[in-house]
Structure 1
């Protein structure tokens, strides 16, 4: 098994093509906002500037779930929306907003706006 420095989104989503397609769709969406690094570990794909601002992960890795991918958007404030499966507040000025993704078209203007805000706050 490769160490995290050599992992790719294909490693994380090996055998889960729907999740990989959603991860790549998030990567394309992020690229329309600006330049960010993409790092894959055994648990997630992270999009970063100075800090991480978005993460894609496969919930089936941890619990019994048919959801292909979850997008976590890190914002400096809490956003209330029915689109979020969960919002957690791990530290001051950090709210992690989890969106279950089933289709790439869920990455609409509203989600892109949240990603752009997260991108800006991570700079």
Structure 2
């Protein structure tokens, strides 16, 4: 459900999470014309379909391992220890959850996955 809020409003009190979102958006816009949708639970990035989201696990967990998570939807399973969890909600989608602890975590490898996801969502 869209809320009409901005990403800045969603991440109020979480400046690091806002910086993560801005970096993810910057990387993704290099691959496709990206739209942003803010819901009650996440800030999602879309082309024709959603391909990534940035969210705060503290909304759901009492003691999260990280302040912010980037979830990336790919058409394949990426076997990397960098992901906290990979789920397979449908036959064509694998959602990869990446806990981000520093902006440096959004390196070239992650940028490649984001660009792949954005191109696939178009």
Q: State TM-score, norm by structure 1.
A: 0.91
The Cα offsets for residues 83-104 of structure 1, whole Å up to 9 and x where unpaired, read as 0000000011110000001111
The Cα offsets for residues 4-23 of structure 1, whole Å up to 9 and x where unpaired, read as 34111122211111111111
Question: After the TM superposition, which segments of 4 or more aligned residues of structure 1 sit over 6 Å from their partners?
Answer: none
Q: RMSD in angstroms over aligned alpha carbons?
A: 1.4
Unmatched runs of 5 consecutive residues or more in structure 2: none
Tell me the number of residue pairs that the alignment of Structure 1 and Structure 2 aligns. Answer: 121
Q: State TM-score, norm by structure 2.
A: 0.92
Cα distance in 1 for residues equivalent to 2:2 and 2:77:
31
Cα distance in 2 for residues equivalent to 1:51 and 1:110:
22
Q: Which residue of structure 1 lines up, in the alignment, with residue 120 of structure 2?
A: 121
Unmatched runs of 5 consecutive residues or more in structure 1: none
Q: Which residue of structure 2 lines up, in the alignment, with residue 38 of structure 1?
A: 36
Deviation at 1:80, TM superposition (A): 0.2
Q: Which residue of structure 1 lines up, in the alignment, with residue 11 of structure 2?
A: 13
